[in-house]
Amino acid sequence: MTPAPTAPHSTPARVLWGAALGALTWPVDLFCAVLALLTARRRAPLAPVRAVVTLHRGRTVRFLDWSDGGAPVTSRRAAAYLALRVGMSSLSMLVLGLLAYGLFGVVVSLASWLFDVRLTVDAAFQGDGLSTSDVLVLVPIGSILLYLDLMGLFGVGLLDRWTAARWLAPSRSERLEAQVEELTVSRADLLSALDAERGRIERDLHDGVQQRAVALGLLVNRARRLSGPEAAGSLLLEQAGREAEQLVTDLRDVAWRVRPTTLDTHGLEPVLRQLVSHAAVPTVLDWDVPVRPPGEVETTVYYVVAETLTNVAKHSGADGARVSVSLDGPARAGDDRERQDAAVHVVISDDGVGGAVVRPGHGLAGLAGRVAAAGGTLALTSPAGGPTRVEVVLPCA
């Protein structure tokens, strides 16, 4: 649905003008209503039907103070709307006809009273003309009839607005679908921003802090060599050099855990193999993904596997673990269009003591939230005594 245009504030005069304009389209409304009813089974209305409905949408927004929610025009909606429009435009034409007849009567009466001119074509009215007393009687009656006629036209305008709101406004399910779509897009944008921020932190650590730590280690080693092994403080300089080397190693590990640079350049498989090789619990990786998944899916899979293996090492007491990554669906054929229906299937299992639960504020709950934000699902099976199995499905769309 498109955003609703801003409707100008409607005044009674604007409503009257809008209703009168709607009455003038009566023949077109009738033709398009018949056309829409005959083609109501079509998914999209014919071009003339769509054009007339669009015309009335614009008129209703501009003159009748209706907020267009941008609901799509279907054949069913167009047929129902135009069928009611024919009735309303017919009623509007009747009201306008009475108004024109009343105005003609005023002109005839004034011409007869002021100038003794006979404008009526009916011989029965070709009499002696109107007297002043007749005019004084007709003026209040004509004013009341004019007021009633304008009110009738105003009511038609309100009914016209109600009809547009009934058939051209988005339904409750369409509004909910639009909100869900907006939330999904916002969630995906949030994940992208989070991954981009992780990448920036990793680059800062790799190109900034790590390089300065390396330079510090070189300076310490140079000072130690210049001072000689017998100099006072040489042992402290040697210890400082070892600490600097350990600092560089720790920084590399932290930067890699924040977001490995090889994830973008080499893909998910080498990153997972490196992750598995460094796991505290002996872990086996089964890789069955013939084509490379989208970048956001690779990033999510990496964090799921990394966080789960960390939990296995900390809490499971397992002797071994297994990570299986496969691609389900028609993406194996390599067709980009079919790949949208595919999903990455990740299973992390261990032979530990089990008993893992998803608790708010803890690691598994965070993983479940991240997977859900990527449009996937996370299932946990961990009975007391084990084994534990974490299964994640991520769509590639």
Q: What is the pLDDT of residue 118?
A: 67
Cα four-point dihedral sign 211, 212, 213, 216: positive
Distance, in Å, from the CA atom of 369 to the CA atom of 244, rounded to the nearest integer, reads 38
Residue 175's pLDDT is what?
84
Query: Please, which residues have CB within 8 angstroms of residue 279's CB and are 6 or more apart in sequence?
Result: 309, 312, 313, 321
242 vs 254: CA distance, rounded Å: 18
State the pLDDT at residue 333.
46
pLDDT of residue 291: 86
pLDDT at residue 324, rounded to an integer:
95
Q: How far apart are CA 301 and CA 123, in angstroms?
A: 94
DSSP state at residue 246: H
What is the pTM (predicted TM-score) of this model? 0.56
Single-letter code of the amino acid located at 333? A
Q: What is the per-residue pLDDT for 345?
A: 93
What pLDDT does residue 286 have?
A: 94
Query: Where in the chain are all domains bearing CATH 3.30.565.10?
Result: 263-396
* Residue segments in the chain with a per-residue pLDDT below the cut of 70: 1-10, 117-130, 330-340
Q: Which two structure tokens, joined as six digits, stand for 391?
A: 């299964």
Max intra-chain CA distance, the chain: 141
What are the start-end ranges of the H helices in the chain?
Answer: 12-24, 26-38, 47-63, 75-115, 132-167, 172-204, 210-227, 234-258, 262-265, 268-277, 295-311, 336-339, 363-373
pLDDT at 375: 83
Q: How far apart, in whole angstroms, are the C-alpha atoms of residue 226 and residue 266?
A: 43
The strand pair at 283-288 and 321-328 is best described as parallel
- 3.30.565.10, 3.30.428.10, 3.40.50.10420, 3.40.50.620: CATH of 263-396: 3.30.565.10
pLDDT of residue 336: 55
| Cα 151 to Cα 26, 145, 263, distances in angstroms | 20, 10, 71
Q: Is the dihedral of CA 305, 310, 311, 317 positive or negative?
A: positive
